[in-house]
Amino acid sequence: MTNNIFARARAYASLTPAERALLKLIEGLICAALVAALPIVAEALSRGGVDWPVIARAALAAASVAVLMALTKYARAQADPALASALASTGASLATAAGAGETVDASGAPTPDAPIHAVAAVPADVVSTSRHQP
């Protein structure tokens, strides 16, 4: 089940709020492991020994933060729109902001976004010889 979640997340498929929270928890626990590993390495290099109770408290604190982040993600994901509608609305707002979409000519008729005239192909030898050499 979890490898399916990772594959769907990589493919930007819609995930349930619980699946999103699980991914956030895994991300947080990986970060917590890194946070716990740093003092181990630092103490081992500086003193030659490791104070394990201090390391355990740091790891527990980092893991607690990871759990809180996952719970927050779960709570916030309840109100998230479905991925398809979120992508559609974001794409539409980006197209509007960029000035894409239908434009009108002087008569009020919509003009296409695609160029009206065909673009001539440039031969490969012209492209390679027109590059600037440093």
**pLDDT tens digits along 50-83:** 888 888 888 898 899 999 999 998 888 887 766 6
Q: Is residue 31 part of a domain?
A: yes
Note the pLDDT of residue 108: 60
**104 assigned to some structural domain:** no
Domain count, the chain: 1
Residues of the chain with pLDDT under 50: none
Residue 103's pLDDT is: 58
Tokens encoding 120: 């001539």
For residue 105, the model assigns a pLDDT of 60
Q: What pLDDT shows up at residue 127?
A: 53
User: Is residue 86 domain-resident?
Assistant: no
**Does some domain include residue 56?**
yes
Largest CA distance in the chain: 82
| 62 within domain boundaries | yes
**Structural domain boundaries enclosing 47:** 15-79
C-beta of residue 52 within 8 angstroms of C-beta of residue 62: no
**Residue 111 belongs to what H/E stretch?**
strand 110-111
The answer to whether the CB of 73 falls within 8 A of the CB of 20 is yes
Does 123 reside within a domain? no
Residue 117 domain-assigned? no
Residue 90 lies in a domain: no
Q: What is the pLDDT of residue 8?
A: 86
